[in-house]
Amino acid sequence: MAKYVIVGASAAGLGAVEAIRKIDQTGTITVITDEACSHYSRPMISDFVSGNADMKKINCRTEEFWKEQNVEAVTSKKATVLNFTEKTVQLESGEKIAYEKLLIATGGKPFVPKTEGSEKDGVFTFTTIGDAQRIAAKIDAINAKAAVVIGGGLIGISVTEALLKRGLKVTMVELQDKILSLLLDAKGSDIMEAVVRKAGVDIVTGQSVQKIFGKPDNDGAVGGVLLTKGGQVSCDLVIMAIGVIPRTELVMGSAVKINRGIVVDNFMQTNVPDVYASGDVAEAYDFIINQNRTLPLWPLAVMEGQVAGYNMAGKKTTYGGGTNMSSLKYFGVPIVSIGLANPKEDPTLEVLVKQDIENIVYKKLVLKNDIIVGLTFVNCIESAGVMFYLMKNAINVKKIKQQLLSDDFSWATLPIGLQRKMSVVQ
């Protein structure tokens, strides 16, 4: 009997394998993934499209990883049925794999809105290396000149930059009034929008695509899009980059509790004995809003996978929690956005802002009872690490509030007592 079975072998699955092996060097581990190779960095697939990185650079583990970790890797195979009574995972082929401890790390899948013409040749999603390879091959095959990217969030902006680097004319279509609206407030978004436009991208906000139409001489191939307010954009490719939703189909209709994602406790355990869940598929603890929710972020998936792995191997470990935290650099502008970066009007929140339009710098802190609960730094991210420490440890910043947004704020600005405490923790 395989002692540990893990479905999904990306950030959360890999984190779990490494944690299990730290505790248990002999128990058998089987990972099941429907990708041919899944140990690659998903945030880097845009570098594959742009030509900035090959597979070797994108891989986040070596070819020998499974052997080194003494793992049986079942690749290119989909897990389809879980049986919690006989404790087995069934593959599409009918083969059954028995488990003592099971981790569901099936991640997210792209959200694809129903759109007329979405079956046409040249329409892609953008979440896997397979998507990136197909897009890159298509660009070469048809000598693509223009693309429409649907979605102006993190995934949308990453693929937009990659396509631009490949020499395509790109139009980004975003349903909200602002791009990157989950990370930035209106001011921050305006700054980024100006940067992206200056790089040559057309941005259409406040509407979406109602229809993808074909080329005049080949209706089966993408020729352009019709926008919801009536405008048209000609293109050779359409990339659906709207976001991801938890990939819960494996547990749908089973005894495992699901809200938006799989419900887990602080040990990443589901309501079913010996069954754990981690990563984009799970609803894990957010220490800012003090409740569980889905947070599709790479480092959190790794940490959640590690916590599940330790617990599966018998080392009781609590997940300390994460929050909405993104660190990115597209179009040459670094951005860090953590926690309540863009909260709704709330009299209990205090907002500190500093802006330098000329140098494209924007800093914003959101405080509640003198504790930092949100931050957004655009093009000036040096102090983000210290701020995150203050935030994560709920440190009262009343005495240093005036200095928080100053250009020279750093670890050294903090009171000596706090510096000592930090150096112990770090």
Ligand X SMILES: Cc1cc2nc3c(=O)[nH]c(=O)nc-3n(C[C@H](O)[C@H](O)[C@H](O)COP(=O)(O)OP(=O)(O)OC[C@H]3O[C@@H](n4cnc5c(N)ncnc54)[C@H](O)[C@@H]3O)c2cc1C
Q: Does 270 bind ligand X (CB under 6 A)?
A: no
DSSP 402: G
- Is residue 40 helix, strand or coil? strand
Quote the least distance from Cβ 325 to ligand X, whole Å.
Answer: 8
How far is 159 from 143, CA to CA, in rounded Å?
17
Calpha distance 169→213 (Å, rounded)? 18
* Number of residues near ligand X (by CB under 6 A): 37
In whole angstroms, the minimum distance from the beta carbon of 269 to ligand X comes to: 16
**Minimum distance between the CB of residue 233 and ligand X, rounded to whole angstroms?**
22
The residue type at 393:
N
The answer to whether residue 18 forms part of the interface with ligand X (CB under 6 A) is no
Residues 46-65 that bind ligand X (CB under 6 A): 46
Between 266 and 326, whose beta carbon lies closer to ligand X?
Answer: 326
Angle of the 186-198 helix axis to the 154-165 helix axis, nearest 10: 10
Interface with ligand X in residues 280-309 (CB under 6 A): 280, 296-299, 301
Q: What single string gives the DSSP state of each residue in 265-303?
A: -TTSB-SSTTEEE-GGGEEEEETTTTEEE----HHHHHH
Kindly state the smallest distance separating residue 106's Cβ from ligand X, in Å. 3
List binders of ligand X among 56-115 (CB under 6 A).
78-79, 105-108
The minimum distance between CB 399 and ligand X, in angstroms, equals: 33
User: Which residue's CB is nearer to ligand X, number 2 or number 418?
Assistant: 2
**Residue 126 binding ligand X, by CB under 6 A:** yes
* Total residue count of the chain as it appears in this document: 426
Q: Does 33 bind ligand X (CB under 6 A)?
A: yes
> Beta strand pairing status for 218-227 and 232-234?
antiparallel
CA distances from 425 to 233, 389, 418, 422 (A): 54, 10, 11, 5
CB-nearer residue toward ligand X: 33 or 208: 33
Where does 32-98 have alpha helices with state H? 45-50, 55-58, 65-68
Position among 88, 115, 125, 127 found at the interface with ligand X (CB under 6 A): 127
Q: How far is the CB of 231 from ligand X (least distance, A)?
A: 27
* Residue in 5, 12, 20, 372 binding ligand X, rule: CB under 6 A: 12
Among 27, 43, 130, 343, binds ligand X (CB under 6 A): 43
Residue 145 makes CB contacts below 8 A (sequence gap 6+) with: 168, 169, 236
Q: Of the candidates 158, 171, 324, 337, which one interacts with ligand X according to CB under 6 A?
A: 158
3-class secondary structure, 290: coil
